[in-house]
Amino acid sequence: MRKYLLAATAALGVASPAFADGPYVGIEGGVTLPRSTDLDIILNNTSATPTSSVTYSDGERLKYKTGWNADVLAGYKLGLFKLELQGGYQRAPVKSLTASSTLLGDVSAATGTAVTAANLPVGDRMGVTYLLANALLDSDLGGGWGGYIGGGAGRAWASYSGDKDNDWAFDGTAGIRYALTPNLDAGVKYQYLHTAKLNFNDAFAVNGVNYTSSARGNYDSHNVLASLIYNFNGRQSEAPAAAPPPPPPPPPAPAPATQTCPDGSVIEATAACPTPPPPPPPPAPAQRGERG
């Protein structure tokens, strides 16, 4: 997974930005698939004198059904980077609760009856509200498509089995998007949400023996969300490519070599000079008269 994330980051880094710098807002909705939660359990037998307390590491395990998730976003884009505030809520029904054989055996011995996980308190759902600050690398992939990857940290408030607790939360996210208009994007996103350990208190009784319990564990979920994002500054228009400059004019033809003929005419060097006219005939000799 780390290699894939690095490769995606490198691919995004060489692409050009899709939107002008500026603010954006969005909404998201989809499904949440929580991972099973292993709970450290502290059981206090309040009917015993004095009250007894036993800690069971991974004493219980919660499994969930598929739930739903909804988010709102507000952020600011700066070049290839986005800083984003994300607020969301997810809820998943509880599928089952199982308990360790050690915990069930101790409660059975203390209450004098065979105890199963059905005798232990279990809530019907887990609800988590969270507020996260994310840093994302976001870029255009061409043809109206874009992608982003990043993560963040914040706070989560959870409710389970009639009790509430809150602690730090962290997320990693990656997604793709498509420009519907110059300002509006639709996309699909994957997000992994993880919280620090949350603590939930409860009370129950088995065969007249009273207990209080403390269940402590992390909450983790895989989330697939459809998103709709509005960018206030819109998509950057791509400047048309400049026309190539015209080719330079051909150099002038070189002047042909010339020669001057004996008659004073100038002709090309490769031409023959005109033949000079023949010399004029000599004058006729003068005739003398006859003597008488």
With pLDDT > 70 as the criterion, what percentage of the chain qualifies? 88
User: Is residue 268 a part of any domain in this protein?
Assistant: no
User: Is residue 14 a part of any domain in this protein?
Assistant: no
Instruction: Specify the CATH number for the domain of residue 37.
Output: 2.40.160.20
What one-character DSSP code corresponds to residue 79? T
Q: Is the pLDDT of residue 2 over 60?
A: no
Token representation of residue 186: 């639709």
User: Is residue 290 a part of any domain in this protein?
Assistant: no
The pLDDT value given to residue 175: 97
User: Is residue 272 a part of any domain in this protein?
Assistant: no
* Cα–Cα dist 19/187, whole Å: 15
Q: How confident is the model at residue 11 (pLDDT cuts 50, 70, 90)?
A: very low
User: Is residue 82 a part of any domain in this protein?
Assistant: yes
User: Is residue 195 a part of any domain in this protein?
Assistant: yes
Domain count for the chain: 1
Q: Let me know: does 5 contact 137? Beta carbons within 8 Å.
A: no
The pLDDT value given to residue 234: 76
- For the stretch 16-67, pLDDT in tens is 444 568 999 999 999 999 999 999 999 999 999 999 999 999 999 999 999 9
Q: Mean per-residue pLDDT for 165-190? A: 96
For the entire predicted model, the pTM comes to 0.74
The pLDDT value given to residue 13: 42
- For the stretch 247-257, pLDDT in tens is 888 888 777 78
* Cα–Cα dist 137/115, whole Å: 53
CA torsion 66→204→119→113, rounded to 10°? 170
The pLDDT value given to residue 49: 92
Domain containing 51 equals 21-231
Q: Let me know: does 186 contact 180? Beta carbons within 8 Å.
A: yes
User: Is residue 63 a part of any domain in this protein?
Assistant: yes
Q: Let me know: does 195 contact 158? Beta carbons within 8 Å.
A: yes
The pLDDT value given to residue 178: 96
Cβ-proximal residues to 184 (8 Å cutoff; 6+ apart), any chain: 228, 229, 230, 231
User: Is residue 173 a part of any domain in this protein?
Assistant: yes
Nearest to 22 by CA among 234, 238, 186, 239: 234
Q: How confident is the model at residue 5 (pLDDT cuts 50, 70, 90)?
A: very low
Q: φ, ψ for residue 179 (rounded to 5)?
A: -80, 115
What one-character DSSP code corresponds to residue 217? E
